[in-house]
Structure 1
Amino acid sequence: METEPRGKGPSLELRKVRSRDAARSRRSQETEVFYQLARTLPLPRTVTSHLDKAAIIRLTLSYLRVQHLLPAEELGAESEEETDGYFLRALPGFVMVLSAEGDMVYLSENVSQHIGVPQLDLVGQRVFDFIHPCDQEELRDILTPRQRVGKKQSQDVHTERSFFLRMKSTLTSRGRTLSSKSAAWKVLLCSGHIHTYSSAEPPLTCLTVLCEPIPDPSHIDFPLDRSAFLSRHSMDLCFTQCDERVTELLGYSPEDLIGHSAYEYHHALDTDHVTKSLQILLSKGQVCTGHYRFLVKHGGFVWAETQATVLYNSKSTLPEAVVCINFILSGVQDSGVVFSVEQMERPLTPKSKSEPDSVAMETSAELFLKLKESPEELTQLAPSAGDSVEPLTDSAELKVFSFLPARGPSPPAAPQDLCTPELRQLLTPIFDPVAMETSPSLAPSDSLSFDMDKVEKLFAVRKEDEAPPTTQECEGLDLDMLAPYISMDDDFQLAFLTPNLEPDPPRSGTAKKRALDLDDCPLPKLSALE
């Protein structure tokens, strides 16, 4: 009984040793397989030797996806040229390839120069883990390919994409790199195309974009070009400060722009485009407007592009101003055409009497305060110093523009011009009472009384509007001149005074008696009218 445990002891220890050796051998073989897999990646040995197993699997899957995207001919004829190293330096950002599921298939090597995160830490990762939560739904809609509808299904649909994305950045304004926990959001302008590669198995949809960071105006390390100027605005885009270089580029002095909205100096056809850029600016903090037309003083416009950034209060963290870098991209076009009143010269000094009459231009705020203090000014035109007051009743000759429709017929000078000849003759005593007295054709009193009776009936006051008669007035009335009594119990048919062509229907005794009484009574009023 005592010898059996002694015999089992060495065998148990031997099994444990053999098990540890087998596990060590499997791990070493697995590690060797991963190292061999890492050597197949197009990366330097100094990089692959520091990769862990998860990174090797992630990079290998991304490399296989890239091979599905590129044709076999391009992969076989791959050769490095001397100019290849300058491509990334010339790009204003980094290149990113996304799959339809949101995986980052490829990123260029210079991604760390723009957001601080190394290339190998991003390739194969999900992009939704590195972008702002409010931008994730927008990116999912962009990655979804649009269905082609109609007969022309063989033709490609609109594949161009341009959007703004907030991505994590570990770079500070001074170029130092922070930890991932202290990363901030950087706005990227992403522009590119989405393609579906049906030749791949399975078919692969990818979005290839160039991500260009928008520089912060407060941390610009390079001097601005002579074709650019800085401007500062309030949150409603009114100019508060402006670079003096604007005079050389656009003709305005800084005093001409301060206090006015930037919308007043944009072409009317670019209003929707500028408004959309403003919405992106207020929601994401930075924006690049793209090309739009900036109006030039005295006429014409230039093509421009603006990079705008919202400045936040350090204490309240609320937005307080907008700083813009405005790049002028072209020369003056259509210099002889004035598109806005703001392009004209504003008078700074009172005009002399020898100058032609003109209305002084005031801002809406000043005009509102002036009219609020003195409402009687509404009845007059706003004169300049030394001008005479012109009432609004006088017709002012307005300048006719070619893009306005032709004027309609002028309104009639007198109200009788709107009346028909019959109504004008009837209302002659009101329109021209003096002519009625001197005219010999209207001398007979009967015709005058006849017309006056009709006029009085047209403008007579209704019975319910008059005051009820008093008892003395009722006693003085002639009851014979009043309308006959009509009973509401019987159906009484009112008849005209013209002779009846058909025989009257038989009547009851009471109704017949009342009808005879009505025929016998005199009707002076009706006879007079007849």
Structure 2
Amino acid sequence: MTIFCSHCHRPLQAETSCLPRTGRQAPSASKPFRSTKSASKARRDQINVELQALRSLLPISAREKERLSYLHTMALVCLRLRGAQLFPPDSAPPTGPILGMELLSLLPGFLLVLSASGKLVYISENVAEVLGLSVVELLAQGDTVYDILDGQACEDVRKKLLLAQEEPGREVTFVSEMRTSKAFRLQHGGNRAVAVCGRFTALRWPACPAATAFLALCTPVTPSPADSDTTSQDNLFQSVHVLDMTFIDVTESVTYHLGYHREELIGQSWYSLLHPEDAELAAAQHRAV
């Protein structure tokens, strides 16, 4: 049986055709699918392990560590690293008492230490009493002093710090609103105005920006209602003395201010309450009266 081509009507041979052949490509081997899901998970797991190791090194209680998020952990670690750069562990220990919470509670505000570039280096724990935010919560706002200030005051504060940096030892003061907790804003209608008074100090010699820190005391401009309730007792105490300054009477509010009961002071000399270095000056003023 002969088969003719329908196109040219010529007989066809086996496996032949007058039509042009279209090139056939051999099916290429499909590339193997490589998933990155496992690799990403491995990287995340490694990051989590490193963050947990850093968290374990922080000098805070185990209960506080459990409450730290990864963001708060990194903020605290960075704060500690900046502090270690300014105050190396092998440097001489600072003179004076260690600032514990009992001593900090006696201050009218909280302590603040900044680097030459305005980075936060140290914030005392009693900041929560002033702003309603703990150190960790405050660091979550950012790592510079400008992150915890009201945005409109940042430029003025920057100029003040530059001026203080040009003249180390010169005391500068500026007033600005600082960020507070939501509960504080709801109760008081906004952030809190704080007066910052401090100076740049060279921590090591020769002095350089890397070894210079701004040490400041941050005091609220107006006391909160809670503070007013605490100090609602007599702001002054009155006392009556004989000519040699011996107490013969004193109001009960002296206990709040000096820690002595009225009965303890009656019959005692006023000079016994003075610091020895102030006794001579006080005696001179007493004689002048």
Q: Normalising by structure 2, what TM-score?
A: 0.57
Matching of residue 141 in structure 1 with residue 172 in structure 2: no
Kindly indicate whether the alpha-carbon contact (under 8 Å) linking 1:197 and 1:203 is maintained by their aligned counterparts in 2: no
- After superposition, the C-alpha distances for 1:484-515 in whole angstroms (9 at most, x for unaligned) are xxxxxxxxxxxxxxxxxxxxxxxxxxxxxxxx
Residue of structure 1 in register with 2:215 after alignment:
208
Shift in Å at residue 66 of structure 1? 0.9
The CA deviation string for residues 161-210 of structure 1, in whole angstroms up to 9 with x for no partner, is 33322212237xxxx5458xx97121212222212345588724321111
In the aligned structure 2, how far is the partner of 1:68 from the partner of 1:119? 19
Q: Does 1:91 align with 2:107?
A: yes
Q: Deviations over 1:257-295 (max 9, x none)?
A: xxxxxxxxxxxxxxxxxxxxxxxxxxxxxxxxxxxxxxx
1:188 maps to 2:178: no
Q: Secondary structure at the match of 1:223?
A: coil
| 1:169–1:183 Cα change, 3 Å | farther
Quick one: distance in 1 between partners of 2:64 and 2:195?
Answer: 30
1:114 aligns with 2:130: yes
Distance 1:25 1:213, change over 3 A: same
Q: Report what 1:27 is aligned to.
A: 44
- Is 1:104 the counterpart of 2:120 in the alignment? yes
For residues 34-433 of structure 1, what are the structure 2 equivalents within 5 Å? 34-73=51-90, 84-123=100-139, 125-144=143-162, 145-147=164-166, 158-170=169-181, 176-177=183-184, 184-199=190-205, 203-216=210-223, 220-221=228-229, 222-227=231-236
C-alpha separation in 2, matches of 1:226 and 1:62:
39
Q: How far apart, in 1, do the equivalents of 2:189 and 2:50 lie?
A: 35
CA distance in 2, matches of 1:41, 1:158: 32
Tell me, in whole angstroms, the C-alpha distance in 2 between the residues paired with 1:71 and 1:34: 23
CA distance in 1, matches of 2:190, 2:57: 35
Q: Give, in angstroms, the shift of residue 41 of structure 1.
A: 2.1
Q: Which amino acid aligns with 1:223?
A: S
Native 8 Å contact 1:196 1:203 kept in 2:
no
- Report if the CA contact (8 A) 1:100-1:207 is conserved: yes
**Amino acid aligned to 2:130:** H
Identity %: 25
Deviation at 1:58, TM superposition (A): 2.7
Q: 1: distance between equivalents of 2:92 and 2:60?
A: 16
Q: Per the alignment, do residues 125 and 138 of structure 1 end up closer, same or farther by CA in structure 2, a change over 3 Å counting? A: same
Unaligned runs of 5+ in 1: 149-156, 229-329, 337-530
Kept in 2: contact 1:41–1:60 (CA 8 A) = yes
Query: Gaps (5+ residues) in structure 2?
Result: 1-26, 238-281
Q: Cα RMSD (Å) of the superposition? A: 3.9
Residues 161, 194 of structure 1: 8 Å contact kept? no
Q: Secondary structure at the match of 1:23?
A: helix
